[in-house]
Structure 1
Amino acid sequence: MQQISKILESLKQESNFRELFVQIHNGKHIYKNNKKLLNLASNNYLCANDFVDEFLDSKLFSDNLHFSSSSSRSLSGSFSVFFEFEEYLSEVFNKESLLFNSGYHANVGIVSALASLDNVLFVVDKSIHASVIDGLKGFKKTNFKRYLHNDMESLEIILQDSSKYEAVFVVSEGLFSMEGDFAKLQELVSLKKKYKNMYLYIDEAHSIGIVGRSGLGLSHYYELLDEIDILILTFGKAISSFGACVLCHGEFRDYFINKARSLIYSTALPPLSVAMSYFVFKKLESMQDRREHLSDISKYLKDSLKQLPYEIMGDYNIISIVLKENKKAVHFQKMLEERGYYLPAIKEPTIPKNKALLRISLCSNFGYEELSLFVRDIIEIDNEYLS
């Protein structure tokens, strides 16, 4: 089609064309065209896949050796391990739990179900996950507004004019996936106490596993779980598995079972994946040494990158170098690849136009020496670019 051809050509001209390639993974390295690269783009934050052999020797594995559920949960795909894991999560977080196929499925299904209600308002952080926005876009009648990223004054201006709504759902991430900063959770809770029709929806996709001594996320760390109405956890990052869950009040859970289309009309997760997530969750508390090392190397890298003449974002293990221009970000990506690093440029629509960046995602198996070499190399690339 001529329209499609024009769109693709425009993306190429704007240095914003995406392609897929075969990836071979080996620990913290990735092979691209047979070239070994340090993988700085993985969300496998705790390297929990180290426990696969232990999992394979466990009763959880032997009892759940099913590679497909072969049906949605509302039909014949609701295996016992789903309920066992949900019960475990409910006990840990003191909320009702419901599994979804991914964080995307969870947010799209839950947000669109809530957005179909009358007289509700969604107020979302400008840097919220795309899946939340996609859930809202499905309903043109939905009232939703965005507040400036992590800006509580901007949020409260909207809340001051929201008394006409039965419910106002304020949506934030726990650890933001691009900026790498933490939500101002205590301030959000203070606003909730002030505005009685406000419900707090927190997506902890990137903070579960790596935050707090037990690894149970930001809400648990601040002891604010009782104030969070809807809590999203995902298993494809620090948990090294697949899937997601929502933790919420029982009435919400029943509503999502009946109205979240991404749950109702999807083949349920493979029981084997659910069992692996369950297995890793039970080991989180014992992984504190990995969390401490991750924290230490994250601080080291961010401090070291301050030598660059760019904005460096990130409070923890997601550290972004803001280069602004697509062409420049792609150039850095290619030069880093030549030197042995895999670090794809992040461009629109993932982030706003003219804010292209390099997003460094640190995992607990990285060492100081290789990060020091990375800093040296990227500084040299920048000097060459400017000369």
Structure 2
Amino acid sequence: MLEAQLQAALTRRERLGLRRTLQSQGHAGLVDVSSNDYLSLSRVPSIRQAVADALADVRIGSGGSRLLDGDSPLHARAEARLAAYFGAPAALLFNSGYDANVSLLTTLPQPGDIVVHDALVHASMHDGIRASRAAAVRAFRHNDAGDLERVLRGVLEELDATDEVQAGRRNVFLALESVYSMDGTVCSLRALAGVLEKFAPRGARHILVDEAHGVGVYGRGGRGVCEALQLAHVPSVRLITFGKAWGCAGAVVLCPPLWREYLLNYARPLIYSTALAPMQVAAVLCVLDALERGDVDEQIATLHTRTRQLYAALGRPYVCDPLPPAPIVPVYSAQPLELAARVQRAGFLVRAVRYPTVPRGEERVRLCVHAHNTREEMEQLAAVLAAPDASL
């Protein structure tokens, strides 16, 4: 019975053209404009050698959860260095950004609290919110401070919670991404934080910013969008992931020390998972070494140059002031699979993104620029996309 039900669900997805499959073969020789390795650090020889040298001195696996046998001086040293680099009071390593977001949003909002979030936040935030203890969860239109104000006013009236929030008996959480992974838009953090200030006093308002696609790309030494906007003090929590621009794996939550202790005691994905492998922690530290020395500054500058060149070649404006455009460039298409296949035949690795990852009617091919890409590649890619049958 179950097998029939599972097969029926897959068949239905197949019929709708939505069935997902692994695509790990057949892309040798294609120009990568798909992966999240924005700074191309996973292929930098000096970093690769540093990681290889570091692995000689660390265990492959951690052997248990952080609270049992998986903790080590290496984990503690990494957290201390990451907290110092990002100017945060404390840091806590997680196996992934997904685990971290689920942990934050299932544990931090208390019974009776309110969570508002940008409509385009990552699936991991949605999963955490769904399992949270918050009294109300509401979405507002992407990057729209006016709609956030409307939503907040409405939910406070609905719960008759205005006085309780002002008295600090209820908290309001605002969940955001610094760079949105499918659209490449940069968070309007200053305007959104200003709205939140109108409704909740300092101790009762908390902003969670997922910097997964902003860290490494923006800010001094790649410290992220919050730092670039000189607003690193505004979020209560910043989530830094290592699987994108850092070219590694894992994540770290930057937060107050009390929140770190609370997560250690209540975050189930952390408590009941084997700790981040020492070999991964060592790799993260090697990248951090390079960032601290300024060795990655050239890659960051090149990435922004290539992104601007792609926008110019596409003839598309970008509005990202005061920051450069993000290296995520969506190309909307009514036939994203066909467009992706044609671009791949022209020599570029791209991916179609469809419902349910993005809303119906917003299907696209998602382009990601990298520091190792060339100006010529950006111009050639734009020429392929500009062909008459590109369905832009």
Give the alignment's TM-score, normalised by structure 1: 0.89
User: Alpha-carbon deviation of 1:385?
Assistant: 5.8
Q: Return 5+ residue gaps in structure 1 as ranges.
A: 24-30
* Residue number in structure 1 paired with 2:206: 199
- Further displaced range: 162-171 or 202-211: 162-171
**Amino acid in structure 1 at the alignment position of 2:177:** E
In 2, are the aligned partners of 1:81 and 1:271 still within 8 Å (CA)? yes
Give the alignment's TM-score, normalised by structure 2: 0.88
Instruction: Provide the rounded CA distance (Å) in 2 between the counterparts of 1:219 and 1:144.
Output: 24
Instruction: State, as a whole percentage, how many aligned pairs show the same letter.
Output: 28
Q: Aligned match of 2:21 in 9, 19, 22?
A: 19
1:114-153 Cα distance to aligned partner (Å, 9 max, x none): 24x2111110100001001011222476521001001011
Instruction: Provide the rounded CA distance (Å) in 2 between the counterparts of 1:191 and 1:378.
Output: 39
* Residue number in structure 2 paired with 1:355: 362
Instruction: Provide the rounded CA distance (Å) in 1 between the counterparts of 2:11 and 2:337.
Output: 17
Instruction: Provide the rounded CA distance (Å) in 2 between the counterparts of 1:322 and 1:122.
Output: 31
Q: How does 1:85-96 map to 2 (within 5 A)?
A: 85-92=78-85, 93-96=87-90
- RMSD after superposition: 2.0
* Residue number in structure 2 paired with 1:283: 290
1:184-226 Cα distance to aligned partner (Å, 9 max, x none): 1121332343331321110000010110231100111222222
SS of the residue 2:308 aligns to: helix
Q: How does 1:158-169 map to 2 (within 5 A)?
A: 158-161=151-154, 162=156, 163=162, 164-165=164-165, 166-169=170-173
Instruction: Provide the rounded CA distance (Å) in 2 between the counterparts of 1:55 and 1:316.
Output: 28
SS of the residue 1:353 aligns to: coil
The structure-2 alpha-carbon separation of the partners of 1:371 and 1:98, relative to structure 1 and needing over 3 Å to count, comes to same
Q: Does residue 72 of structure 2 align to residue 67 of structure 1?
A: no
Instruction: Provide the rounded CA distance (Å) in 2 between the counterparts of 1:142 and 1:82.
Output: 36
Instruction: Provide the rounded CA distance (Å) in 2 between the counterparts of 1:354 and 1:366.
Output: 30
Q: Return 5+ residue gaps in structure 2 as ranges.
A: 157-161
Q: Does residue 51 of structure 2 align to residue 55 of structure 1?
A: yes
* Residue number in structure 1 paired with 2:91: 97
Instruction: Provide the rounded CA distance (Å) in 1 between the counterparts of 2:318 and 2:357.
Output: 18
Instruction: Provide the rounded CA distance (Å) in 2 between the counterparts of 1:306 and 1:4.
Output: 45
Q: Aligned match of 2:147 in 135, 151, 154?
A: 154
Q: Aligned match of 1:319 in 300, 317, 329?
A: 329
Q: Aligned match of 2:119 in 101, 106, 126?
A: 126
**Amino acid in structure 2 at the alignment position of 1:377:** V
User: Alpha-carbon deviation of 1:236?
Assistant: 0.6
In 2, are the aligned partners of 1:313 and 1:320 still within 8 Å (CA)? no
In 2, are the aligned partners of 1:319 and 1:361 still within 8 Å (CA)? yes
**Amino acid in structure 1 at the alignment position of 2:260:** R
Instruction: Provide the rounded CA distance (Å) in 2 between the counterparts of 1:252 and 1:198.
Output: 14
**Amino acid in structure 2 at the alignment position of 1:317:** P
In 1, are the aligned partners of 2:115 and 2:134 still within 8 Å (CA)? no
Number of aligned positions between the proteins: 365
Instruction: Provide the rounded CA distance (Å) in 2 between the counterparts of 1:42 and 1:131.
Output: 19
1:249-269 Cα distance to aligned partner (Å, 9 max, x none): 111111110110000000001
The structure-2 alpha-carbon separation of the partners of 1:142 and 1:293, relative to structure 1 and needing over 3 Å to count, comes to same
Q: Aligned match of 1:78 in 67, 71, 74?
A: 71
Instruction: Provide the rounded CA distance (Å) in 2 between the counterparts of 1:300 and 1:216.
Output: 24
- Further displaced range: 298-307 or 79-88: 298-307
* Residue number in structure 2 paired with 1:296: 305
In 2, are the aligned partners of 1:103 and 1:244 still within 8 Å (CA)? yes
* Residue number in structure 2 paired with 1:26: none
* Residue number in structure 2 paired with 1:46: 39
**Amino acid in structure 2 at the alignment position of 1:113:** T
Q: How does 1:201-350 map to 2 (within 5 A)?
A: 201-284=208-291, 285-306=294-315, 315-323=325-333, 325=334, 328-350=335-357
**Amino acid in structure 2 at the alignment position of 1:290:** Q
- Further displaced range: 143-152 or 284-293: 284-293
* Residue number in structure 1 paired with 2:192: 188
Instruction: Provide the rounded CA distance (Å) in 2 between the counterparts of 1:384 and 1:106.
Output: 42
User: Alpha-carbon deviation of 1:292?
Assistant: 1.2
SS of the residue 1:6 aligns to: helix
The ranges of structure 1 where at least 4 consecutive aligned residues each deviate by more than 4 angstroms after the TM superposition are 139-142, 311-314
User: Alpha-carbon deviation of 1:274?
Assistant: 0.6
